[in-house]
Structure 1
Amino acid sequence: MALNWKLVIDTADAPALADFWAAALGYEVEDPSALIERLLAAGHIGEEAVAEHHGRRTFRGFAAIRHPEDPFDETSGIGRGRRLLFQDVPEGRTGKNRLHIDVHADAGGLDTLVARLEQLGATRVREVNKGPAGHWWVMRDPEGNEFCAA
């Protein structure tokens, strides 16, 4: 039996990093505004738990993205498939990532992919060419998290 999962990424600015990764992967930023309105109306959360991003109400310090073809809960906006959750934490990144995302280009499209990721705010770290084993770029997202473009 396959399990549902989400990858949680610690951030300094969850909504901004969610925007970057949604654009990089072609994912959708989840919209929890309907859920937030219900929770506020019922008194389950206060205004201090809420922020606004791009004109939508969000949970302060959190943002998520989901694959556009995966199912999601229409009431909460929460994805039920491939999903990344970004959560603000007080401390910054202190070492090399122990887990990272590989973003794959179409055949022959690595240069185009890398250029698009740079336009979104990523930076190149180093090029890796292992001949028949592969060719890729190690990159950093806008908060410095490493990932590979291959």
Structure 2
Amino acid sequence: MKKKKLRPLLFGLILSFSLLSCTSQQSTLDVSSEEKALFDSNDEAPVEIADDETEYEIIIIEPGFNTWLNSIARPEGYYSQSFLENRNAIMVTTWNQRVLQPQRFNPNLYEMQINYDPSIDYGYEVNYKLYNYFIYFQRKYNQRLGPFIPRI
């Protein structure tokens, strides 16, 4: 009879250890000291995202982003426009959802909605700089705007 009583206890212990080992592990970003220095800089040169042909424009005033874009980010042409459009659509959706939930997400980080329509061709430059701003933002503020780890 003692063997029968031990089985549920043993099963419970195995189940407990299994559940504890299945907990998600938080991913940490490998941010270099050079990149951290740019995050802490006070360089506030605005980055204008514009496409003369389509007449769409975004202006980003984020300390350190301009320098980060020119020194750390992948160069223009590295990503295809369709890749950038797909990633931007995902990240804009997440961003806009967070803007609408200031009690849950820091309203100092998510201040304004982004009007981005995936069916509109904004051109390569707009998509490139918007995508890189999202990467910069995620790495600087340790945020995730989609299922992808923000890498450079």
TM-score bin (small chain): under 0.3
TM-score by length of 2: 0.26
Bigger Rg, which one: 2
Bigger helix fraction: 2
